[in-house]
Amino acid sequence: MLESYAATRGRILENLDDLHQLTSFRNNGSTVNVIQGLKEKLLQGKFNLAVLGQFKRGKTTLINALLGSRLLPTAVVPLTSIITLIKYGTDLHIEVFFNNGDKKEIMLEELSDYVTERGNPENQKEVQYVEVHYDSPYLRGGVQIIDTPGIGSTYQHNTAVTYGYLSKVDAAIFLVGVDPPISQVEYDFLSDIKKYVNKIFFLQNKIDQMDEQDRTESLEFTRQVIEEKVGLSGIKIFPISAKGALEGRLNNNQQRLDGSLISDFEKALNYFLMEEKGKAVLGSALNNTLKILFDEMMSIDLEMKAISTPLDELRNKINEFNVQREKIHQDREDFDYLLKGEKEKLISILESDLKDFVEGKSPELMKKMEEHFKKLQDVGKTELAKEIDRVMKQGIEVILREWRALEEDKLKRGFENITRRFSAKANEIISYIKTLSSEIFDVEVETFNHVKTLTTESYFYFRIDTLFDNTLMLETLPFALPEFLFRRVALSRMYERCREELDRNAGRIRHDFLERIEKSIGKFRNELFSKIDATLSGIESALERAIFEIEEGEEKLIKTKKNLEEQVNALKRIRVNLAELGEALYPDYDNLTQINR
């Protein structure tokens, strides 16, 4: 299971709780809010683990086995028709989200009325997706398990729903069977999955239906087909019995559970979540906690120095600080204006590159399509349309995928240059605060040193329509034409559709890049300004407290100094805890150096 990830996350949360209590005691409202936001982010950290495969491979049964409950409906006929997200909740809670933005809470026994083909044929109820909140160790670490409609069934809209969700998947579990081991539909689907999902776990289900020799032969055949047809090498396929695992857990039958072989897969999944994904999440939370710790140590250091300063001298220093604070606010506004300008320049580069690319590649695609069309003289109407669809889809995807990779690298470098330069500009502001604090109060301030990269979170996927949409009556009429007239219509439609689909998918790439640029710039700006604001706010609140304590008299000052010393000791204990966590996550992680720099 996910104990190691959950345990580490729990220790970070415990230290955040201690910091929360300390900053609340100090009435440091801004830092309290930052800590609360960090806790929520850590608690709600989402990792989308999708279960994919052909219909009736046992996807839903596998999810039920992982959860140890018959939570989701299963049946003999192809069943799941709607994306179902299973996420953590202390109590069972189910919500249906509709395409029009409405949502509805339902009971468990009503679930099949919305997510199955039988209860909601062809999605007549216009359901977008369903969320199931459930208490399970698998979900407490922020993992969201996604049950998807099976591909390759007679219900084509189910396949479309699954394809449309691929871009949101962080890792996938791909189920195949033992008899037949893998089909054309499945390895075609796998060829598409690998474009969007970096990590795929392969499971061969229903191993209890074969003896060991047949199982081994089936497993080897499946592995060879996937490696040869899909182009994936060195894959590992886990043989399991989802039904056996579910029955073993429901009946507390360890022998049945061991016989299902699911434990080997669960160990591999846990390792991936902890080492490859969990470590990044936990490392980020740890670093942010360290920053809060440093700011609090600075604030307490400032307050201890301030209460030891004569009142008149302290007031003069505060007045001097307030005068300089206005200059810092003006620098911040100028900084924001310049950052927005750099963002617009980056977007302008994207717009120009995309325009030049489409104009340059459109004739190339047309020529390729025309040459292929001439080779299809002896094929029938249906085969001609299918072949044009195949070549057009392949051509557009190859052209745009190559350009997208090059443009992404270019935009990443541009974005990193922006954050590098503006981190330096931010440090000029923070260095000024540091110098001011040192001169007036003899307190050190941490610098801002964040070179960010363009967010990799993307929801883009290719969507290329066919030459003729056979689900529309009007679109089937050309097939009734004589052969020579049909070919003319098909050729004309091919030219038109190629231009449309190239433009449309190029536009979707543009939209994806724009969203990522906006999100990345916004995140960088917020982190940077938060650092400046938190530094100023920490200094201001510490000085206000110092004035109050001094005015209360000597007895109050003695008590305050004792409290501050206790707070310093508490921070030191937290610092040791964070150092241990950092060393556990990263052997060369030197927390103490970071804190004391």
Give the per-residue pLDDT at 572.
Answer: 92
Using the 8-state DSSP alphabet, how is residue 85 labeled? E
* Distance in angstroms (rounded) separating the CA atoms of residues 343 and 340: 5
3-state secondary structure of 129: strand
Q: For the CA atoms of 594, 438, 545, 562, what is the dihedral angle to 10 degrees?
A: 60
Q: What is the pLDDT of residue 443?
A: 54
Given strand 199-204, what is the order of strands in its sheet?
103-106, 93-98, 127-134, 84-88, 143-147, 47-53, 171-176, 199-204, 237-239
Name the β-bridge partners of 176.
204
Q: Going by C-beta distance under 8 Å and a sequence separation of 6 or more, which residues neighbour residue 510?
A: 350, 351, 354
DSSP string, 313-374: HHHHHHHHHHHHHHHHHHHHHHHHHHHHHHHHHHHHHHHHHHHHHHHHHHHHHHHHHHHHHH
d(CA 14, CA 502): 52
pLDDT at 540: 75
- For 268, the 3-state DSSP assignment is helix
| Nearest CA among 291, 299, 294, 298 for reference residue 543 | 299
401 DSSP 8-state letter: H
pLDDT of 17: 93
What's the total number of domains in the chain? 1
Query: How many CA atoms, within 13 angstroms, populate the side-chain half-sphere of residue 428?
Result: 10
Q: What is the CATH number of the domain that holds 201?
A: 3.40.50.300
The token duo for 34 is 């930052």
**Residues spanned by the domain of 189:** 46-260
Residue 156 is predicted with a pLDDT of 42
Question: Within a domain: residue 490?
Answer: no
Please tell me whether residue 53 adopts helix, strand or coil conformation: strand
Domain assignment present for residue 376? The answer is no
Distances (CA, A) of 276 to 198, 233, 462: 11, 20, 27
Strand runs labelled E in 180-319 = 199-204, 237-239
Q: Is residue 69 one of the residues assigned to a domain?
A: yes
CA count, 13 A, side-chain hemisphere, 40: 6
Give me the long-range contacts of 93-97 (CB less than 8 A, separation at least 24).
93/132, 93/133, 94/130, 94/131, 94/132, 94/133, 95/130, 95/131, 95/133, 96/127, 96/130, 97/127, 97/128, 97/129, 97/130, 97/131
Is the backbone of residue 168 left (phi > 0), alpha (psi -120 to 50) or beta? Answer: alpha
Phi/psi at 201 (nearest 5 deg)?
Answer: -95, 125
Rounded distance, CA 435 to CA 525, Å?
A: 23
pLDDT of residue 251: 92
- Amino acid found at 14: E
Cα–Cα dist 64/134, whole Å: 12
CA 84 from centroid of its chain's CA atoms: 17
Tokens (6 digits) for 331: 């620098």
CB atoms near residue 277 (< 10 Å): 20
Domain-located, residue 542: no
Beta bridge partners of 200: 172
pLDDT string in tens for the chain (597-residue length)? 445 677 888 889 999 999 999 888 887 777 788 788 788 877 766 778 888 887 778 888 898 898 888 888 775 444 556 788 898 888 899 999 887 888 899 998 888 888 887 888 877 888 888 899 998 877 876 788 888 776 544 334 444 555 555 656 778 888 887 766 677 777 777 777 776 677 889 898 888 887 888 888 888 888 888 888 777 778 888 999 989 999 999 999 999 999 899 999 888 888 787 666 677 678 778 877 887 888 788 778 878 888 888 888 878 877 877 777 777 777 778 878 888 888 888 888 888 888 888 888 888 888 888 888 888 888 888 888 888 888 888 888 888 888 887 888 888 888 878 877 777 777 677 667 766 666 666 555 554 444 445 555 554 555 666 666 655 555 667 777 888 888 888 888 888 888 888 888 888 888 888 887 888 887 777 777 776 776 777 677 777 778 887 888 888 888 888 888 899 999 999 999 988 888 877 665 554 334 333
* Residue linked to tokens 């489409």: 358
Cα 216 to Cα 77: distance, rounded to the nearest angstrom = 28
Q: Is there a domain that residue 477 lies in? A: no
The pLDDT of residue 19: 92
- Classify residue 577: in a domain, yes or no: no
d(CA 328, CA 334): 10
> Tell me, what's the pLDDT at 104?
92
Does residue 579 form part of some domain?
no
The amino acid at 278? G
Q: What is the pLDDT of residue 2?
A: 47
Q: Residue 97's beta-bridge partner residues?
A: 103, 129
The verdict on residue 196 lying in a domain is: yes
3-state SS, residue 50: strand
Element containing residue 486 per DSSP (H, E): helix 483-552
